Amino acid sequence: MPDLFAAASLIVSRAGANAICELLSLRKPNILIPLSAAASRGDQILNARSFEKQGFSYVIEEEACNEESLAKAIDYVSEHASDYICAMEDSGQMDSIGKIMDLFETVAR
């Protein structure tokens, strides 16, 4: 999956924790279609809304996803890809390993 994500210019995905972390790490413009509340605990909806609010993702609710809404989303994200990439780059969330190591060092002192 990492090779496919790396090769893609736009990704359509669910909004599980692993998927969204990959998208953020690779700075890939994306469309998230979270599992509905009826089919999940609701965590994917929260993940998707968080990424949408931060400007990282375009979100389509599963119940609203159809050929027309997906085509519209693909066009929009393609046209605004640089905005999504900039939001991810400017987020400060890219160096998670460095942040964790800093926390370890702080606690160890």
Pairwise CA distance, residues 72 & 46, whole Å: 23
How far lies 22's CA from each of 13, 36, 63, 108, in Å? 11, 21, 25, 30
Domain that holds residue 67: 2-108
Residue 36: which CATH number?
3.40.50.2000
- pTM of this structure: 0.84
pLDDT at 62 (0 to 100): 95
How many separate domains does the chain show? 1
In this predicted model, what pLDDT tens digit does every residue of 56-87 receive, in sequence order?
Answer: 999 999 999 999 999 999 999 999 999 999 99
